[in-house]
Amino acid sequence: MSFPYTQDLRHSFEPSLRAADLARTAPTLARLKAAVGTGRYAFLDQPDRRDDLAAIREAAARFANFDTILLLGTGGSSLGARTLAALVDGGLGLWPRGGRRLVVAENVDPFGFEKLLATLDLGATGILAISKSGGTAETLAQLHGLLPHLAARVGTAEIAKHVAVVTEPADNALRRLAGRFALPTLPHPPTLGGRYSVLSAVGLLPACLLGLDIEALRDGARQARDAALGAPETSLPAQGAALAVALAAQGHTQSVLCAYADALGPFGQWYSQLWAESLGKDGKGTTPLRAVGTVDQHSQLQLWLDGPADKLFTIVSQASRDKGPRYSEAALGDPALAYLAGRTMGDILDVAARATAETLARRGRPVRLMHVETLDETSLGALLMHFMLETAIAADLFGIEPYEQPAVEEGKILARRYLQGMA
Amino acid sequence: MSFPYTQDLRHSFEPSLRAADLARTAPTLARLKAAVGTGRYAFLDQPDRRDDLAAIREAAARFANFDTILLLGTGGSSLGARTLAALVDGGLGLWPRGGRRLVVAENVDPFGFEKLLATLDLGATGILAISKSGGTAETLAQLHGLLPHLAARVGTAEIAKHVAVVTEPADNALRRLAGRFALPTLPHPPTLGGRYSVLSAVGLLPACLLGLDIEALRDGARQARDAALGAPETSLPAQGAALAVALAAQGHTQSVLCAYADALGPFGQWYSQLWAESLGKDGKGTTPLRAVGTVDQHSQLQLWLDGPADKLFTIVSQASRDKGPRYSEAALGDPALAYLAGRTMGDILDVAARATAETLARRGRPVRLMHVETLDETSLGALLMHFMLETAIAADLFGIEPYEQPAVEEGKILARRYLQGMA
């Protein structure tokens, strides 16, 4: 079986720029490799886990009769699930007719909450509340907001059949609430940060509920990890990290992940949290932007080509040639559309990705190309691991600790003070 | 009736920085004011139009029996409709049970197209194809991809009952296709650029199909326009433009629009196109980023607070205090959640917006606050006009022509050449 993805730096400019940075990744790679299996960096060990699969499948089986899964969670507790769910809904909210759908509620917007109640039949909904700390205000507020409606719909005695929880083993507010209602509870690995948790129960329970092959997700991640932790020259994440850090020093302060695949739209959101929250410290880091091609060609491309030269582009594509409807000259019936004759929808996407990369490169914009033959559990698992590793390696190059997010605490404390001060 | 929105620059730092730029907006404001009603800048005139309402309502009535509206369009042909539709689905894809939903197809991803076919019942779907030029490859490829499926489902003779078109009056491929199938066709105002078209049939036909008050949208826009085109000191868009341009010169190369309202999520996408495509020229412009609070507090806030100081923040909020479920101490049942006792979900959102603004300001990050009491057609119309004006005024300050997007042509030409070269 071939490797799940490729990386092509031919348009990324001046390898000399990043050679020094690439060499500097060697100790990081050695340290990460030595850590595999030790628990020191929990995200490295998720691909090898088999111990938690039975519990994940058992929890999923409890919701077998529900046509909607409502995930309550935010940040690291929601973006991984959104990313994996896109393999089912195409990243577009297009759930197959008669199939199961995932609805994700991340906010404490009372108007959005009202829409949720107007949309869902709670009697046919399984609710999954996910919070690592068990103290996330949004998730607790959502769950406490829903419980009265759920009790009214199905009866208090049935609540435990409709709600499941993922949280740390340690005592916390969400775990106590789970205890009060006897809700099934899966452990959030305590040393695994939210934005690195997609390959734990946090991402895999929702994925399992949607019928995805969760072992293939881990297998793809394992392949990416094992191939990455060798020499810098052959490590795709090390090359990506060295490129991003070298270009950041040259004023490329933004990193655009542009996926020519609808189903990778949510992946861009997941990447944006991973990169921003891990590296945005001490005045360092670069700003992630997510985009989808060809859609954002009609929104952002003008700026990318002719605005400030401050962005690194990563174009991720899926093999699409010969895929989708094929246009015949007769059906098109218009000489102006002759350029489409004999081509498929996928051909249009394929050439758009190539033409955009080429056009950006001609304007002197650095572009990295990443490609998967088939976007599935294996290749998506590999991409997830690639970017977790790339982020961890870039953090070392920047001299930043990637697993904390200290700055956000100040706002949380202030918000609670405001809340308590409300008359 | 009070003005539909407020703007507060108290956290935006150093008014002196922008005073010179603000003064420079006076001729722009005078020129825009003199242009109202002349057709010189078509976006200024949309709020006063009544001539097109009957045709919009008539076109909408043809789709009265459909439970799904499928919009085929991209960029300026889709983002306005998405923005308006969020008043119905909360920006979350949460369509009321039994109500009508809007599905937007913007891409030529064959896998996304497959999801579309697996999801929609074309017999119960009205299709709206929108392209100003009538030559947008994506939109024509989508429509030509769908027509055989639609014909198979409802019969060729019924196609005209299921499809409507919005395009320029001039002859073009989409208009010829409409002629071939006798599809009802509304005119895209020819001098109105796509990203400025939300208050024309481009946005208002989808809005009308979703039951929104399209005259209130225009009325809100008219209020915002009329209040803005006076002295710079009292013009909210001129103040915003001067702030953005002054800060850009100080290294604030990114403009974050963070909405503390789920229903303004798509508005952020619309703004991102407007700002990027209008201003990203000649190496100038700043990069727009869209965010939703509190969601992106759990994704981007760490970077915003502690990463590079290169962003201007616009926090848009909707009055949410006392809204949504209220938490009682008894129901919470946990001393650790005492801070929520007596508060509502909307209170949490309200304090989060204030705490985030305050925390950003304490770290020296410039913040502009915008606020609406009620997010509805009137206030959304006003916000749309505000940002179109702010963009046009900023363009003058940057010395940029805001109504073209010349750089994207190169990629389009290259893509067609690749397509023709495929064996």
Question: From the candidates B115, B144, B149, B412, which is the catalytic residue?
Answer: B412
Q: Do residue B140 and residue A297 have CB atoms under 8 angstroms apart?
A: no
Q: Scanning every residue of chain B, which has its alpha carbon at the shortest distance from the alpha carbon of A413?
A: B355
User: A79: nearest CA in chain B?
Assistant: B299
| Alpha helices, DSSP H, located in B120-200 | 137-154, 159-162, 173-181
CA–CA dist A247, A333 (Å, integer): 48
% pLDDT > 70, chain A = 99
Distance from CA of A49 to the nearest CA of B (A): 27
The answer to whether the CB atoms of A276 and B284 lie below 8 A apart is: no
Kindly give the residue spans of alpha helices, DSSP state H, lying in B313-365.
Answer: 329-332, 345-362
**pLDDT given at position A421:** 85
pLDDT of A1 reads 64
> Are A411 and B318 an interchain contact pair (Cβ–Cβ within 8 Å)?
no
Give Dmax over CA atoms of chain A in angstroms: 71
Q: Chain A contacts of B80, Cβ < 8 Å?
A: none
Alpha-carbon distance of B172 to B418, in angstroms, equals: 23
> Which residue in the set B135, B301, B362 is minimally distant from A336, CB to CB?
B135
Contacts of B294 in chain A (CB under 8 A): 74, 107-108, 138
> What is the DSSP pairing of strand B6-8 with strand B367-372?
antiparallel
Domain A6-34+229-398 has CATH 3.40.50.10490: yes
CA pair distance A173, A176, nearest whole angstrom:
5
Residues B205-225: b if buried by 16+ CB within 10 A, e if exposed: bbbbbbebbbeebbbbbbbbb
10 Å Cβ neighbour count for B44? 24
**What is the distance in angstroms between the Cα of A294 and the nearest Cα belonging to chain B?**
6
Q: Which helix (H) or strand (E) covers residue A8, if one does?
A: strand A6-8
Question: Any idea which of A12-21, A319-328, B109-118, B409-418 has the lowest mean pLDDT?
Answer: A12-21
Give A218-263 pLDDT, tens digit per residue. Answer: 999 999 999 999 999 999 999 999 999 999 999 999 999 999 999 9
Alpha helices in B155-200 (DSSP H): 159-162, 173-181
Residue B290 has pLDDT above 90, yes or no: yes
pLDDT in tens, B156-170: 999 999 999 999 999
Partner residue facing A276 (CB), from B138, B148, B300: B300
Q: What average pLDDT does range A87-107 have in this prediction?
A: 96
Six-digit token pair at B111? 């896998």
**Fold of the domain built from segment(s) A43-214:** Rossmann fold (3.40.50)
For the segment B36-58, what is each residue's pLDDT rounded down to a tens digit? 999 999 999 999 999 999 999 99
Q: Are A124 and B356 in contact (CB under 8 A)?
A: no
Please state the φ and ψ torsions of residue A258, each to the nearest 5 degrees: -110, 110
Q: Which residue of A has its CA nearest to B277?
A: A302
What are the φ/ψ torsions at residue A369 (nearest 5 degrees)?
-105, 130
Closest chain B residue to the Cα of A180, Cα to Cα: B333
Q: In which residue are the tokens 């997830």 written? A: A384
CB contact under 8 A, A144 and B325: yes
Q: Which residues of chain B neighbour A325 with C-beta distances below 8 Å?
A: 110, 113, 141, 144-145, 148
Count of CB atoms situated within 10 Å of the CB of A326: 16
Chain A residues closer than 8 Å to B145 by CB: 324-325, 327, 345
Nearest to B197 by CA among B109, B368, B63, B76: B76
Active-site residue identified among B277, B281, B311, B390: B277
In the predicted structure, residue B385 carries a pLDDT above the cut 90: yes
A131: nearest Cα among A47, A59, A190, A54: A190
Contact list, B336 vs chain A (CB under 8 Å): 135, 172-173, 176
What is the per-residue pLDDT across B87-107, written as a single tens digit (0 to 9) for each? 999 999 999 988 999 999 999
Is B115 known to be catalytic? no
DSSP labels for A176-210? HHHHHHT--EEEPPTTS-GGG-TTSHHHHHHHHHT
Tell me if A121 sits within 8 A of A149, measured CB to CB: no
The residues with which B326 forms a beta bridge, in sequence order, are B344
Adjacency order of strands within the sheet including A163-167: A101-105, A68-72, A125-130, A163-167, A185-187
Which of B121, B296, B298 to mutate: most A Cβ within 10 Å?
A: B298
Please give the residue of chain B at the shortest CA–CA distance from A420: B339
Using CA atoms, how far residue B115 sits from A232, A394, B103, B109, B419, in Å, is: 40, 36, 12, 10, 24
The structure's pTM equals 0.97
**Residues A157-194: tens digit of each pLDDT:** 999 999 999 999 999 999 999 999 999 999 999 999 99
Of B89, B141, B279, the CB nearest to A345: B141
Say how many C-beta atoms besides its own lie within 10 A of residue A95's C-beta.
22
pLDDT reading at A383 higher than 70: yes
Q: How close does chain B come to A180, measured CA to CA in Å?
A: 9
Closest CA to A389 of A262, A230, A159, A255: A230
Residues of B in contact with A97 (CB under 8 A): 118-119, 121
Model pLDDT, residue A119:
95
Nearest CA in chain B to A86: B112
Give the C-alpha separation, B311 to B247, whole Å. Answer: 9
Looking at residue B17, its pLDDT comes to 66
Positive or negative, the Cα torsion across A133, A135, A140, A141?
Answer: negative
Answer yes or no: do B336 and A135 touch at CB < 8 A. Answer: yes
User: What would the mean pLDDT of B11-40 be, rounded to a whole number?
Assistant: 90
Chain A hits for B303, Cβ within 8 Å = 276-277, 279-280, 285, 287
Chain B contact set for A361 (CB, 8 A)? none
Q: Tell me if residue B396 falls in helix, strand or coil.
A: helix
Query: Which sign does the torsion angle of CA A130, A132, A134, A138 carry?
Result: negative
Pairs of residues, one from chain A and one from chain B, whose beta carbons lie less than 8 Å apart? 431
Q: What confidence score (pLDDT) does residue A10 get? A: 86
DSSP state at residue B41: S
Q: Is B11 a catalytic residue?
A: no
Between A236 and B1, the higher pLDDT residue: A236
CA pair distance B200, B192, nearest whole angstrom: 9
pLDDT value for B358: 95
- Out of A92, A345, A351, name the one closest to residue B145 (CB): A345
The distance of A384 to chain B (nearest Cα, Å) reads 16
Tell me which chain B residues have a C-beta less than 8 angstroms from the C-beta of A93.
Answer: 93
CA A146 to chain B, closest CA, distance in angstroms equals 9
Calculate what percentage of chain B has a pLDDT beyond 70.
Answer: 99
Antiparallel, parallel or unpaired: β B163-167 and B125-130: parallel
> What pLDDT is stored for residue A399 in this prediction?
97
B181 CA: distance to closest CA in chain A (Å)? 12
Phi, psi of B177 (to 5 degrees): -65, -40
pLDDT higher than threshold 80 for residue A14: no
Higher pLDDT, B349 or A411: B349
Copy the structure tokens of residue A208: 């399992």
- Output the DSSP codes for A349-366: HHHHHHHHHHHHHHTT--
In CATH terms, are A6-34+229-398 and A43-214 the same topology?
A: yes
**Residue A412 CA to chain centroid, in angstroms?**
24
How far does the CA of residue B180 sit from the closest CA of chain A (Å)?
Answer: 9
The answer to whether the Cβ–Cβ distance between B339 and A419 falls below 8 Å is yes
Q: State whether B422 and A343 contact (CB < 8 Å).
A: yes
- How far out from the chain centre does Cα B114 lie? 27
Is residue B197 a contact partner of residue B355, using CB atoms and an 8 Å limit? no
Tens of pLDDT, residues B175-225 = 999 999 999 999 999 999 999 999 999 999 999 999 999 999 999 999 999
Q: Quickly state the pLDDT bin for A18 (edges 50, 70, 90).
A: confident
Reported as type and span, the H/E element at residue B45 is helix B42-45
Which chain A residue has the Cα nearest residue B273? A299
Query: Which residues of chain A lie closer than 8 angstroms to B351, CB-CB?
Result: 415-416, 418-419, 422
The one-letter amino acid code at B216 reads A
Does A406 sit within 8 Å of B331, measured CB to CB?
Answer: no
**Residue B181 is encoded by which pair of tokens?**
């199938």
CB contact under 8 A, A283 and B308: yes
A416 chain-B contacts, CB cut-off 8 A: 339, 351
Mean pLDDT of B243-248: 95
Q: Is A328 helix (H, G, I), strand (E, B) or coil?
A: coil
For chain A, give every domain's residue range.
6-34+229-398, 43-214
- Most A CBs within 10 Å, among B102, B107, B195, to test the A interface: B107
A303 with B325: Cβ contact below 8 A: no
- Alpha helices by DSSP H, A280-344: 301-306, 329-332
The Cα-based distances of A298 to A356, B74, B77, B343 in angstroms read 12, 7, 10, 43
Q: What pLDDT sits at residue B152?
A: 98
pLDDT in the model for residue B168: 97
B22 near B233, Cβ under 8 Å? Answer: yes
**CA trace torsion A34, A39, A43, A44 (10° rounding):** 30
Percentage of the residues of chain A whose pLDDT score is greater than 90: 93
What does the alpha-carbon distance between residue B235 and residue B30 come to, in Å, rounded to a whole number?
12
How near does any CA of chain A get to the CA of B32, in Å? 25
Identify from B79, B109, B286, B358 which residue to disrupt to test chain A contact, counting A C-beta atoms within 10 A and taking the largest count: B109
Cα–Cα distance, A182 to A62 (Å, whole number):
14
Q: Band of the pLDDT at B423, cuts 50, 70, 90? A: low
The catalytic residue positions of A are 277, 298, 412
- Cα-to-chain-centroid distance, residue B136: 20
Helical packing angle, B377-398 and B79-89, nearest 10°: 150
Q: Is B420 exposed, middle or buried (0-12, 13-18, 19+ CB in 10 A)?
A: middle
- CA dist B241 and B222 (Å) reads 19
Helix/strand/coil percent split, chain B, to 5: 55, 15, 30
Q: In whole angstroms, how large is the CA radius of gyration of chain A?
A: 23
Question: How many angstroms separate the CA of residue B216 from the nearest CA in chain A?
Answer: 20
